Structures are given as C-alpha cells and as structure tokens.
Structure 1
C-alpha cells in the first residue's frame, strides 16, 4: 500500500485546527467585548500560515480576559490559539501547546459548565492528545447539551476513522456537507474527511471528485491545491496533474510543503523522461527540481509519497542513469 505524505493528511489535521469556530455565547453577544471577540475569532478563522494573525488574535483575547476573566468564549478561543500556534505537522505539536489549550478549555468549562462548544473543542483536543476516552466523553457531553455546532459531527467522525468505523465516519462528514452550514472551515474539514474515507476504501475516483469539490468551494486555499497535487502524484502517479496543482498552490502562497510537492512531481517527470529516452527534457526537469529542492530525487520523492509507484519509477531511472555512466 502506498504510504502517503503527512501533507496528504496535513490539511485534514491542519484545517480542523484552524476551523473550530465559536458559537456566539448568550452573554458575550451583548457585552462590550462581543465585537472584540468576533474580531479575534475572524483572525483565527482566517489563519493560513501567517503567525502574525494568531498573535493579533491572542492580544485581543488577552485584553478581553483582563477586563472580563469570566468570559468563557474568550477562554475557548485562547485554547484554539494554543492548538494553532503549536501545530508542527500532522498530529505533531510543540511541547506544552496542547496542555496550554487544555488549561484554557478547563477554565471555559469552569466558568460555564453548560457551554456546549467548549466540549466540542475538548473532544478534538483530547483526540490530538491521544486520549480517546476523554475525547468521546467530551463529545457525548456536547451531544447531551444539544450542540448544533457542525464541528461536533466532524470531531466524532475523526474518532470513528481512528477506530476503523469508516462507514459511520463517512456519514458524519456527509451530514456536514449536506447541511449547507455557513461554517466554511467545518465544510472544508468535512470534505477532507471524505477524501480520507474514499482513499482508505480504495474509491479513488470519488476521492478525486471530493478534492475538486473542495477546491471549487474554497479556491483561495493554497493547501487545497497542494493536497490535491500530492494525491495525484502519490496515489494516482499523475505527475503532470500534480505539477499543475502544485504550481497553482504556490501562486497563492509560497510555502515549504508546496515547494517540495512541486519538486517531487518534477523528479517523477524526470524519471519518466529518462525511461523514455528524452535526455534533453530530463535535464530540464531535474534542473528545475534541483532549483526548488536540491538533493537526492529518491529521498525527496520518498519524503512526499513514501513507497509506491512514484518512488519505484525514480529508483528505476537512477539505476538506468548509473548504468549509462558505467
């Protein structure tokens, strides 16, 4: 089975972290800090890799809590901040970041034990902390409180995926997509969850369709194109399609994982050209790839795709080049 790059999942994890939107609390909506809280939430929701937006949100939230230490939604948003700020990669976080988020969520629940959306986020957090029993308990509490937050469906689905209950998870993701929710982050995360489901069940055409639907729904996200590029390269061995999507991603945002995806697709193209005797084309492709991500083509493709057809193709090409030089 092909080992997929963390980037293929990264946006499932990385968009879930970004998108846990707060439902307006009854008290905060009418308070003087309500506008500031909305501003902080928008900054967190709009985070796409620029840490300055996180820090601006944190400063606003700190200001709210200095004046109103009992503002439960602000404590919840501080928890979101810690999760986002500490995120390093798929299920990987800076030491202490998740613990800081947990402390903020506990404070939110202490202030308002009936705050359902705090339990929704707690379910997500405890899954990240690899504490599934507590994650399910938190989500069950949110269910009991009658939360209609679409993230409740997504967070349950993530746990069901972990448990191998794929059909139940897929239905949860579909519930979000079919709900027509205005919560864009939740919708994107549901699309990402469905791609994981279809890939794990070998339904690659359906997965491909969901990637394209997610791009159509959120065309300004570089990660959507980058994830699709990795799927095309690593799962479908479609380096030309991967090149197109990776280039599109980098036109929106110049980021490391996107550059590596582009380089891996170019190295895979180089391998195809070597095997087809297109020496001139191969020289151009490897020069372009090396300019983006210098190093061993085999190592770079492996870092993006793991094992599978792209890696085997590059290995075969390297062997042919070595034989031609001997």
Structure 2
C-alpha cells in the first residue's frame, strides 16, 4: 500500500464532483473536517505558531549556556531528536506538556487568550451558508474555538449541536435535526486535549460515533495538518467500505499532508486537491452548492447584527478580489465568482465589487454613478468613488466634494477620513488639516494599515520625524506582512531616510512578488535600481514593464524619460 500513488485532482474537478453528488445523490452528505488552518484568517494562531512560541519560551527558561535556539532544540529531548523549529507542529503535544508542566491551567489560559474575541472569517461565514441551506450540516474538528457556531449565530442561522466532550459522543448520530459540530479534542473551556496521550489516542465513544457518521458522510478535510494520531489512527482502522464516497483532502501550496495522512488516503482511495485558501475554497464551494448564492446578501445580514463584523467581512472579500486580478487560475476563478455572485440591487457593496472588477475607467465611473443613484446615503460607496476620482481619474475638485459628502454622511468612517487626509496632503498641501484627520482616523481604527502607512509617509516627508514614521511602518507590516503597498512604502523610506539599500531592495522584491502587477511597486524599484545599483539594463526592463501596466501614467512616463536622458548622458564620450 505504501507504494500506491494518491489520486490528485484539480480544484475545478473536485468542485464539479461535489456539485454532481449534491444534485444527484440525495442520500450522500459531506462532513467537513477542520483543523487550525481554517481558523488562521480569523486571527487564531495555528498549532505551528503556538508550538514555535512555546519553544522560544522554553529556550528562554532552560538554556543558560548561551546556545542558539536551533542548537537548544536539537538537544532538548523533545521528539527523540527529530524536532526542529520548522517541524514544531508535528510535536505540538510534547511541546505543550513540557511548556506547561506543573501548571496545565496556565496552558489553557494561554489558549483562551489566543482565541478571545476572534470573529469568524469569510470562509466560516460561507460554511455557515452551506450548513444552513444544504443537507451538509456536519463539522468534525480538532479545534477548540467556537467559530462554526459563531458564524451560524452571526447570520441568524440555526444553532448547532456542539458535542465538545467524549462523554457526549453518544449524541452524535448520522440523522440529526440540526447542524452538528463534533469537537473531538474537546472545547476550549472543557480542559482541551493537548497532551501526548490524549492527542495520540481517541476515546472509544468517539470511535463508535465517527464510524457510524462516515458511513453516510463523505469527509472533506480543510485546514487540517493531520499531525495528531487520534483521528488519523481512527480513520486508518476503518475498513475500506466504512466511508461513504471518496475522502477529499484539501491542502495549500507548500503544505502537503504528512505520511500518516497519505496512508489514510491510500487505504480509502481518497483524493488530494490544492486550494488557494480556506476562504477561497469555501467561496467556490458555496457557489456550487447554495441556490441563489449572493455574497452581498450575507454581508447585509451581517451588517444588521454588527457593523464591525460586516466591515471585516467586506475587507476579506475585497482582498480576495484584489488578489484574484493577477493571481493563479484558482484565485482568478475566486474573483470571478465573487463578482458574479453579488446583486447590485441589494447592496452598496455590490456596486463597489462591480466597479472594482471593471478595467475600463470610463465604464467604472458610470458604475459608481449608477450605484450612488441607488444608494445616495452610502458613505462607504461615495468614499470609494471619491478615491477613484482622485486616482486614477485626477478630477480633484469633484473628488473633494465626494470626500466631504461621504464624511457628512458618516463623520466616523476611518477609511474615508484617512483617504481625505491623504488627498489634502497630496492635492491641496493643507498639511495642518491633513495631520489632524490622520490622527482622528487612527484613533478611530488603530489597526487600519492604509492610514498607518499614509501617516508614516506624512511624518517622514513633512515633519521629518523619522523615528515615529518608522514605528508606524513596522506596525503596519506587523499587522499585514503581505501588504505589498506597505512593503514598498517602507522600502522607499529606508532608501531616502536610512540609506539602508540592502534592506530596501529586499522589500522592493518582496512587494513585487506579492503583487507582480503593481506598476507603482515596479516603478519605485526601477528608480532604486537606476539610482543605487546602476544596473541600467535591469532598470529599463522594469520601466517598460511598469509602462505596459500603466501606459497613460504621467509618473511612469516621466520616470522613463528621465531614465533615458540619464543613460544617454552616461554614454556621451568627450574628445580631448
């Protein structure tokens, strides 16, 4: 069996198969097996992140001879010599036991702190839609959090039966009247199972309950690393015909399942599939399974229950749209579904999604105008339109009138306040009012990265307060390390104010890797290569690439003209 190949399908093939089963096999249901990876975009650290943090704690406590973390890990006795910092997740229970030996309650308290106040991500909201509107109502999870139940409650859906202790496993039955969440490692507040014995073995009640369940449910594994022995051994012990259909194991690029999980897939003829993310997979699956699927309608229901959650949901969906524009085929399909699924008659946000997906600026302008006619009191949509009028349209007078109108409608919208501050700084040179608005925006929403980066630029450019600016750059990158714009902003600062060219170049390259279609990132890197690396061939290639992306941009045209003049001057030879 060890030599058998595991079948791997495309994401499109898996989604098509699930749609066919959903439509044609009414007696077949899907059960979602979730791990820590599914909760990461909700702000909850993964098992890998926690295990690595605890290794650092242990190194600080136990290493008194100055050995490096890596040296100490190799000799600490955890994992029989197989432990490395990179494989910490595989030894999570041993690390937990060592870190909280003698005070297990402190471990539980740390887990509670890590999960306190976290709200369901877009992916969990979409999973709630699937649970509510289809027959696929079972979740089996190794997680201690309550994100599935929270997502159902957030959208006013049917409350699930949460079975969070092995003593209650008898309540798990294939035929349930309501959604089921089976928490096989217990709940966060019921002494969650983190020790080696508990994680390695499954209590008999769970074995019996899950065996009955999987006879009717096809397991769909998402965000689960497969590192604990309890669930893997239980699945391995099942006979080949004990699982309905073929198990589907979703994994992300660079994170394939471990060998124990692969053995399970071989035995049960399971399927591997690479997905872009938990959120992206759930978006595409909801589009296949939920009748009249409408992302905007979900957002509007969320808004009624709490504007903070609605804003977070929209931000995550917008990031999916932005990352899909020039991403992988799977990510592009995610963006297409998102754009197609919103209904402009029901939400201002639908008009924003529609406008953002339109590459033609004139058509986009008309979309915004149509949307504002339908939602004339939407400070959010008017604010997005004002930003569009500023750049790329460069209609500054109309942009300012839209910013003012948006702030009259909602004086505490931190995004609009920050964008208007940037407008006043760049277009009106009204630095006093701009700074006042930046401070107000950050006070209202301290972790909004766009405002932090813009104010950092302001402090560096107009106040010459480089230390304060650098703190804000670092905070924005700590909050969103994969924000290409923030990376490029900080790179510019390091060049102009710190003369740290090596660190800057690394950030430029990272920003372009994160967003290879950003002409702004490419243009800034081209200027850097010209002025500080003198690599004119590489610089010219970058300038041309930026102009292909933004052929009408005065900034890119001017940069390239100055570059050509500078290069021509370098080539001039003088006769004596």
Match of 1:124 in 2: 422
Aligned partners of 1:61 and 1:78 also within 8 Å: yes
CA distance in 2, matches of 1:76, 1:189: 20
CA distance in 2, matches of 1:82, 1:245: 27
- Check 1:121–1:203 CA distance in 2 against 1; reply closer, same or farther (3 A cut): same
TM-score normalised by the chain length of structure 1: 0.61
Answering whether residue 476 of structure 2 is matched by residue 176 of structure 1, we say yes
CA distance in 2, matches of 1:146, 1:252: 33
* Per-residue CA distance 1:203-236 (angstroms, 9 max, x = gap): 1112211111111111233443343233212222
Aligned partners of 2:530 and 2:539 also within 8 Å: yes
- Check 1:78–1:35 CA distance in 2 against 1; reply closer, same or farther (3 A cut): closer
CA distance in 2, matches of 1:155, 1:32: 33
Deviates more, 1:69-78 or 1:250-259: 250-259
Residue 445 of structure 2, aligned match among 140, 146, 150: 146
Residue 137 of structure 1, aligned match among 412, 436, 440: 436
Q: What SS is found at the alignment partner of 1:319?
A: coil
Match of 2:512 in 1: 215
CA distance in 1, matches of 2:367, 2:518: 25
Q: Which runs of 5+ in 1 are unaligned?
A: 1-23, 45-49, 88-96, 266-299, 303-309
- Check 1:155–1:207 CA distance in 2 against 1; reply closer, same or farther (3 A cut): same
CA distance in 2, matches of 1:260, 1:152: 28
- Check 1:144–1:221 CA distance in 2 against 1; reply closer, same or farther (3 A cut): closer
CA distance in 1, matches of 2:408, 2:430: 20
Structure of larger gyration radius: 2
* Superposition RMSD in Å: 3.3
* Per-residue CA distance 1:20-58 (angstroms, 9 max, x = gap): xxxx894796981234333246248xxxxx6x2x33332
Match of 1:167 in 2: 467
Shift of 1:238: 1.7
CA distance in 1, matches of 2:561, 2:435: 40
Greater fraction of residues in strand: 2
Greater fraction of residues in helix: 1
Residue 374 of structure 2, aligned match among 63, 67, 71: 67
Answering whether residue 556 of structure 2 is matched by residue 242 of structure 1, we say no
CA distance in 1, matches of 2:557, 2:421: 33
Match of 1:109 in 2: 407
* Per-residue CA distance 1:86-129 (angstroms, 9 max, x = gap): 44xxxxxxxxx223222111111111222222211111111112
Aligned partners of 2:447 and 2:479 also within 8 Å: no
CA distance in 2, matches of 1:145, 1:121: 14
Match of 1:301 in 2: 565
The total of aligned residue pairs comes to 235
Match of 1:82 in 2: 389
Answering whether residue 502 of structure 2 is matched by residue 205 of structure 1, we say yes
Q: What SS is found at the alignment partner of 2:391?
A: helix
